[in-house]
Amino acid sequence: MQTVPLLIRLDDLSSPQVQALVAEHLAGMQGNTPAGHVHALAIDGLRAPEVTFWSAWFDGQLCGCGALKALSAVAGEVKSMRTRPAYLRKGVGQAVLDAIVQTGRERGYEKLYLETGTGQPFAAAHALYLRNGFAWCGPFGHYQATDFNVFMVMQLATGSSVA
């Protein structure tokens, strides 16, 4: 994997580039998952007080994003992970995930969860999460298991079980 020097920054989702990337993310999710089974957040959802959003930049170009949604005082959910096609396999997803995990640790979260799609379009994401210590789990929060989604959890704090 080739890596590029990235700037990962907190973002308020106000720039047209970031809004276009979120729209690209939603379109990608809707293109790979049947209607009614997409749980990606639109701009308004990403601006909610319980969500922290990051953008990733290389040489002034937006190349990716990700978010962390607070679920409780001890758990968060990884949301809106997206890398622009020109930057795939260059470390963008890893850098954004690193910022999310670091923030989760700083907040004292015990676990990070995520819900994502199934099948080949999501295989690279599954591999990234597994490489970083996420494990398969059952549904959490308001989610229900379907043929179109999977769930993962990462243990952050010691002393509590992964369930």
Give the three-class secondary structure for 149: strand
CB 79 within 8 A of CB 69: yes
DSSP secondary structure letters along 63-82: EEEEEEEE-SSSEEEEEEEE
CA angle 67, 148, 46 (to 5 degrees): 20
pLDDT at residue 106 in the model: 97
Phi, psi of 92 (to 5 degrees): -65, -50
The sign of the CA dihedral 35, 39, 40, 44 is: positive
**CA gap 147, 59 in Å, rounded:** 40
Q: Which two tokens stand for residue 59?
A: 């040489």
Considering only CA atoms, give the Rg of the chain: 15
pLDDT at residue 160 in the model: 47
Provide the residue count of the chain: 163
The sign of the CA dihedral 82, 66, 45, 21 is: negative
pLDDT at residue 156 in the model: 96
- Helix or strand run (H / E) with residue 114: strand 111-117
- CA dist 109 → 67, 112, 115, 148 (Å): 15, 7, 17, 27
Q: What is the pLDDT along the chain (163 residues), one digit of tens a residue?
A: 455 589 999 999 999 999 999 998 878 776 666 667 677 788 999 999 999 999 999 999 999 999 999 999 999 999 999 999 999 999 999 999 999 999 999 999 999 999 999 989 899 999 999 999 999 999 999 999 999 899 999 999 765 444 4
